[in-house]
Structures are given as C-alpha cells and as structure tokens.
Homo-oligomer: A and B are copies of this chain.
Amino acid sequence: MFKIGFVKMGNIASSLAVDLALDEIAERTDIEMRILSSGPKMTTKEAEASADLKVWSPELVIIIGPNAATPGQTAVRDLYKGMPTIVISDGPTKKEARDVIAGDGFGYIILPMDPLIGAKREFLDPAEMALFNSDALKVLSICGAVRMVQEEIDKAISSMARGDIKLPQILATPEKCAEFMEFTNPYAKAKAIGALYMAQTVALIDAQACFKLKEIEPIALAAAAGHEVMRAAARLADESRELEKAGDSVSRKPHARSGELMRKIRLLEKPAKI
C-alpha cells in the first residue's frame, strides 16, 4: 500500500477534508494514511513536532495549513525537503513566492478561496470557528476545490506508482475549481464561480479584522461582515447544487476499492469506472 502522510499545521477549511477525501468510504485497498498535527498553533515549535511523521516513511507528504509563507510553515517544509511533498495553503498567491516553493522541489496547491477566518477573541469563539469552517467547507466541496485537491493528490500518487513523480503547481482560481465539478447546468457553474469569488472576498475582509483594525467595534463588525459573506457564499453554492439536482445531473466521482475514480451523473445509476 502506498503511504501518504499529512502534516496539518494550523487550520484552513481544506484541512478538514483533505485526508478523508482520498478514501471517502474507507474502503480503498491501495493506500494508507497517517496524519499528524499539533493543533491550531503554527509556530516553529509545532513545526519541529511534525518531524515525527518521517519515522513512518511516507512516500508522499501533504503539508496543509494557512499561509505557506509564514515561518512555521517554512520550517516544516525545511524538514521535508527532498521528500515528495505537496503544500496546500491559502497563500502565498504571488508568483515569486510560489516559485520559491516550487524551486525547493515542492508541489503546491494555493487556494485563495479557502479564506482566513475572523480570528479575533472579540468575535471568534469555538462555536463561531466551527460554523465558519462549515460554511467554507460547503463552498469548497460544492464548487470544486475539494475535488481539485483530491484529484491532484490522486494524480500525484498515480504518477509515483508509475515511477514518474509529478507534483501539482497550481494557483487555484474560481474558474479552475468549477471546471473540476463537471457541471451540466451552466448557471450552476456560474453560481459556483460566484461563490468562490465571494470566498476570496472574505479573506480580504477578515484580514482587516485580524491584522489592521485595533478597536473592538470595527474588529467585531469586520469579522462579522466577513463571516456573513462566507455564509452568503455557502448559500449560493447550495443553490448551485440544487440547480444540478433539478436536472438530476450532480456529478459524483467516488473511489473504487482499487483507488481508481468512478463516475456517475444520475442519482439512481451505478458509478462506472472512468
């Protein structure tokens, strides 16, 4: 069995699904996983702790968490340099910063639509944190980001199985994500693209709350506004899926036991190998 290790440092919504998405009904016989995390913190201390995963000798490593340009994330990468590794994060989005990551031999998937949470004690508590992740996960799952990440990892695994390592280097855009969902209804696709743009806007708003504002009122308002937009994006994503339900054209691509992807469109048909 192919061994995939995950280092989760801090949290983005994609962190919640990245491992589960590779084996959604826990029946794949071709891969095994190991996930290690030190929780929400992402300092160099947590980075060091992530070295423990190496003992398990993963064949592919996924490092996932916020802003891959921060010191903690960089420290983790330093540990895994030389091993086949894919970095998944909401940033950096700038070409130069991404090139540095690629230059170090890492694959990456940058997801600006997996937005910064309104992480201020003046607004966020454990319930609100989970709620934001729920909304973000809804957008990412319906609009194609979850599938993009999963298929890209699946492709990397396949490439390694074929002895020809190819790691993704992707700056995700709303349009690229939506492509992965193979929408039949073009309005469903437009809604999905719209929802993803809204998710990107959330990052912008929450960044003000997290890094710029200083007073309780503007902080709480900005964080609340960001979370409202996230919730509105989740609703638009939901509408997208309802449109596909109306046409009985929801694209489903489950894994076969063998790990291969299958496909079905109509709810009452069986999935078939692609």
Most buried by B among A36, A42, A137, A147: A137
Q: Which 9 A-B pairs have the closest CB atoms?
A: A33-B39, A130-B141, A190-B224, A21-B126, A26-B40, A246-B246, A187-B245, A194-B228, A193-B225
Given contacts A32-B41, A194-B205, 9 further A-B contacts (CB under 8 A): A16-B133, A20-B130, A25-B121, A26-B40, A27-B121, A34-B36, A131-B142, A187-B248, A187-B250
Contact with B along A184-203 (1 / 0, CB 8 A): 01110111011101101100
- Considering the chains assembled together, what is the distance between the CA atoms of A216 and B147 in angstroms? 24
Asked if B254 contacts A220 (CB within 8 A), the reply is: no
22 sampled A-B residue pairs with Cβ under 8 A: A19-B37, A24-B125, A32-B39, A33-B38, A33-B41, A121-B256, A122-B271, A123-B267, A127-B253, A128-B252, A130-B140, A134-B135, A135-B138, A186-B220, A187-B245, A193-B205, A194-B226, A197-B205, A198-B198, A198-B229, A201-B201, A229-B236
- Where the two chains meet, the residues of A that have a C-beta atom closer than 8 Å to any C-beta of B are 8, 10-11, 16-17, 19-27, 32-42, 49, 52, 119-131, 133-135, 137-138, 140-142, 144, 146-147, 150, 174-175, 181, 185-187, 189-191, 193-195, 197-198, 200-201, 204-205, 216-218, 220-222, 224-229, 231-236, 238-239, 241-243, 245-248, 250, 252-256, 262, 264, 266-271
